[in-house]
Amino acid sequence: MSPLRVGVVGAGPWAHFVHAPMLALHPNTTLVGVWARRPEATQALADQHDVTAFSSFDALIDHCEAVAFAVPPNVQATLAARAAAAGRAVLLDKPIALDLDGAQRLADAVAEAGVGSQVVFSWRYMPAVRAFLEAVSEEASEMGGLLGGRGAFVAGALEDGPFATPWRVTHGHLLDLGPHVLDLLDAALGRVVALRASGDPHRWTSLLLEHDGGATSVATMSATARVTTHVAGVEAYSAAGGHAVDTSGGLQPGDLVTIVDEFIRTARGVPHPLDVHRGVHLQYLLQAASDDLART
C-alpha cells in the first residue's frame, strides 16, 4: 500500500522532538505538512522537514489521510473532533482533553465518524513495558491475582526547559505525568475503580488506587523536583514476588517506529487498545483525582 499521508498539528517541543521527525523518517508514512497557531513556528518546523506550512487547519486536513496532534489538550480536543468528522484518523497526545467533558465529546466525535484513534501513552510503546505487562499477566494467572503495586514519576520538567509550557505550568503535573503512571498501573493491576488523592498538583501528589480484582497501589508524582535524573516506573507484586519496569530512559528511536507502525494499522481500520476510549477512562481518573485534591 502507498505510504499513509499524515499532517502534524502543533509546532512546540513534542512536534519538533517526536511527531514531525518520526512521521517524516518512517518509510511507510509521508509527512505532508504542518499547521500551528503561530505562523512563524509553523514555517520553521515545515522548513526543517521540507514540507508544506499550511495556513489553516482545514487546509492541512484537506491534504492528508490522518492527523497527529502535538498541542495543548483543550486545543486537541476541539481540533481532533473536527479532523475525525472529516474522516481523518487521529494520533492523540495525552491527556486527550483538559477535562472529562472535553474527552467524552472527542470520543463521541471519533465514534460517530468511525475513524481510527490512537493515544501516545509513550511508556506503553517501550519493549520493556510490554514485557513487564506480559510477565505480570502471567503471574496474576498463576497466583490467582495480584496484591498491589506502586508507580512514580518524579522530575523537574516544570521548573525550566522546553516542556515548561503554559498549559503544563498552569495545570501542574497531574495532567502531564498522571496519565503515564495511572495508565500503566491500571494495565498491570486491573482497572482502577476508586481512588483517593492528596497533595498539591504543582508540588507533589500521591494517589491511592483500588483496582478491579482487589489489588491496591500507590502513585506518586512531581514535576518540580530538581532531581539529577528523573524517576519513572511501576512495580507490581503477587504473593510469589514482584516485577518492576524502569521507564526513566524515555522514548527511544525504535519506540517511535512502533508508534507509527501501529498508527498506520489504526488509520487503516485495525482498532488499537490505546484508543480514544482508553483516553476517556484515564481522563475520568484524572478528573476524580483533581476533584479530590480540590476538596482537601
What pLDDT, on the 0 to 100 scale, is given for residue 229? 82
What pLDDT, on the 0 to 100 scale, is given for residue 227? 84
What pLDDT, on the 0 to 100 scale, is given for residue 161? 78
What pLDDT, on the 0 to 100 scale, is given for residue 162? 83
DSSP string, 195-264: EEEEEETTTEEEEEEEETTS-EEEEEEES----SS-EEEEEEEETTEEEEEE-TT---HHHHHHHHHHHH
Residues with pLDDT less than 50, the chain: none
What pLDDT, on the 0 to 100 scale, is given for residue 270? 98
Alpha carbons 134 and 168: distance in angstroms, whole number? 32
What pLDDT, on the 0 to 100 scale, is given for residue 157? 86
pLDDT in tens, 231-245: 999 999 999 999 999
Indicate the residue type of 257.
V
List the domains of the chain with CATH numbers. 4-121+253-273 (3.40.50.720), 127-250 (3.30.360.10)
For residue 244, what is its C-alpha cell? 518492576
pLDDT in tens, 64-85: 999 999 999 999 999 999 999 9
